[in-house]
Every structure is written in C-alpha cells, then in structure tokens.
Amino acid sequence: MALMSSLVRHAVLDKDKLKSQKLKLKEKQSLMKEAQKSKDMKAMQKHQKEMMDLSMEQMRHGMKPMIFTIIPFILVFGWLRGTYGVAGYIYNVSVTDSLPPGIEFSGVEAGDGNYVKPTRQVSWEWEEIKPGEKGELSVNLIVDGSPEVGVSDTPTEVEYVFPNGTGASYMLGVNGGSSQLEVVKTQPETQGNKLTYNILYENTGSGTVASLFGFNLSWFWWYFLCSVLVSMILNKALGLT
C-alpha cells in the first residue's frame, strides 16, 4: 500500500511545483520572523495571509493522489479489519451449568442467567466476548432453610465459535482448562434462605498481531508503523519529500 501510494504520488504530483511551493513558504516564514522582530503588524498580517494561501495551495496539490488511492485503501482496510481486527474475539458464546444437587428451591430472586427449571440448569449467552474481557455470572435461588453447599461437581458446558467459524465445545472439569474461554466455579454464598451461585469467566485471547520491543501491537498499529517507515523511505528515494 505504501509502495502504491508513493508511485501514484510520483506520477501525479508536479515535483517542481512542490519544490517551488516549499521554497516560497520558507521565504514567507523568514519574512514573518523579521516582521515579528520589528513589530510591523501590517507586514505580519500580510505575510501570514500569504503563508495560509500557500499552505492551502500546497495541501490541495498534495491531495490529488487520493483520487486514485482512496478506493484501493478502503478495500484493503476492509480486508485487514475483517481478517486481523477480530483477533482474540469469540462469538456465539453459551455457558450452561447444572445447579448443585440435593437442594430444593422455590424460585429465582435475581441473576444474569436464563434459568431452566425442568432441567435444573442455568444458561448464559453472548453474541461476542472481546479479548481479555472477564466477568462474573450469578444466580440467586430461594431455598428452604440455610443450605450448606460446596462447589458443585455437576457438569458445566461451554460452547463458542472462533472468528474463522471453527466451533469450540468442552465440559468444565472433563477436558477444559486449555480453552480460550476460561470458566471457573466459585464457592456458593449463602445468606438465610438465599443461595448465590457464581461462575467466573475470562476470554484469554489477545488482539495482538505483532510484538515489537515488548510492545503488543494490534493490526492497525502494526500496519501504521510499517507503512510510515516504508513511505518515508520511498518518498525520499522518489524525491517527494
């Protein structure tokens, strides 16, 4: 993209005109400094207006290559974002957990899950979870008496889809632990006849596509860094600086 942009600039821009504009602008800057030293307000205003006109003319001339590069840039950026911008994301996530056995409850007081009473299950769903995102899932049950329960050994099923369309599925405690979406059961909390059942989750994926000197870069910053360096070299070689 940097090579294409530089070649288009080389073909479209009038390098003699660019050089002339820069020299004129530099000359006006010198005159402006002299007027400031002598405190000549009329000369300052005159030179300032001429500098602005030259800058606007230079900017208009420098934007000519955009006519040829804007559409390719839009297409390539769309592809880059669609290919690398989803790094670390997971989609269509569902976590389904069975409630602790041997506990009878009369209802659900609050929570952020979808309670399925006939199967004694609670399920949570997301359209997407971003890289590094984490949180806590909970459900509050109204039970008889003051229950004493430990962390449930009942199955927890985790399902989701990677950006490339590949599905992932595992049962927590059976073949889980190395998955991108980590799910951990915590000790349930009891208060009177209320049982708060908690699950922690974290997307351990990363949006990093490159590491440089210890800095993790997303697709955009990696592209930006590479394109700036290459553009500087090419523009210097083609006499466009």
**pLDDT reported for residue 128:** 93
E strand or H helix at 220: helix 219-237
pTM above 0.75, yes or no: no
Structural contact between residues 159 and 171, judged by C-beta atoms closer than 8 angstroms = no
**pLDDT reported for residue 110:** 63
Over residues 193-213, the pLDDT tens digits come to: 778 888 889 999 888 888 888
**pLDDT reported for residue 175:** 52
Over residues 122-178, the pLDDT tens digits come to: 888 899 999 999 998 888 877 776 556 655 667 788 999 998 889 998 888 655 556
Highest mean pLDDT among 49-58, 175-184, 188-197: 49-58
Identify the band that residue 20 occupies on the pLDDT scale cut at 50, 70 and 90.
Answer: confident
Least confident of 27-31, 68-72, 140-144, 181-185: 140-144
For residue 95, give the nearest of 169, 152, 153 by alpha carbon.
169
**pLDDT reported for residue 133:** 93
Structural contact between residues 115 and 139, judged by C-beta atoms closer than 8 angstroms = yes
**pLDDT reported for residue 173:** 64
The mean pLDDT value for 82-105 works out to: 84
Both tokens of 64, joined, read 């000519």
**pLDDT reported for residue 174:** 56
- What is the residue type of 72? P
DSSP SS3 for 195: strand
For residue 211, give the nearest of 203, 222, 200, 220 by alpha carbon.
222
How many other C-beta atoms are found inside a 10 Å radius of the C-beta of residue 29?
Answer: 13
Select the more confidently predicted residue: 178 or 77: 77
Average confidence score pLDDT of the chain = 82
Highest mean pLDDT among 19-28, 71-80, 150-159: 71-80
